[in-house]
Chains A and B, each alone.
Chain A
């Protein structure tokens, strides 16, 4: 079974631009979560989608948004990029169920904002 796939692996953008990151979950997984990892703030939850609906959201400004498609693939978008948005963005997928909500992570997209 293929794991969680994130594309692209690396991105370089300049301040003010916008960016879209993609995540394909493990086959059969309907929940997709996004996290930001930085040296200063560590790993922080961005949002979680299940069946195309955002169920949970972290403490990030509205410039960070996401969506999920009917095939469970997810995208996150960051508009008006700032230098502080430079980070490793990780996507995780999981099954749904009381004993199944274990998250499996992709390799991440490393975003550099210049």
Chain B
């Protein structure tokens, strides 16, 4: 079984400041890791993913996340946030073998960017 813990339910930050959203997971099997973002009244959008290879993954809008196997973490970072980054962010895992596309989500972190 897998579980995901997002350590902060809310993160307030000023515009142009750096931010880190923390995610730890627990699993008895190897997993894929994902970050999804949800804007108000919308579905989930894939932000970035770790499937294999380089442990540092980047998105097109400046976010990055690093897979740390020893610490079972997949923290999301951005060096300078914009007002438009205000949203809820979900960390998720899926078992590599036999997962059959079952995503296990964390509880979410609400990022609020203030001017």
Chain A residues, Cβ within 8 Å of B108: 42-43
B99 touches A90 (CB 8 A): no
- Tell me the bound Cα distance from A106 to B38 in angstroms: 11
Residues of A in contact (CB 8 Å), total 26
Known: A43-B90, A90-B43, A90-B44. A103 touches B103 (CB 8 A): yes
Interface residues of B in 84-111 (CB under 8 A from A): 90, 92, 94, 99-108
Inter-chain CA distance A90–B90, complex, in Å, is: 14
**CB-CB < 8 A to B94: which residues of A?**
101
- Beta-carbon nearest neighbor of A100 in chain B: B51
* Cβ < 8 Å to A, chain B residues 54-108: 90, 92, 94, 99-108
Contact code string A90-114 (vs B, CB < 8 Å = 1, else 0): 1010100001011111111000000
Determine, out of A11-19, A48-56, A64-72, A78-86, the stretch whose residues face the partner at the interface. Answer: A48-56
Total interface residues on B, using CB and 8 Å?
Answer: 24
B101 A56 Cβ-Cβ under 8 A: yes
Residue of A nearest to B52 (CB): A99
Q: Most chain-A CB neighbours within 10 Å: which of B45, B99, B101, B106?
A: B101
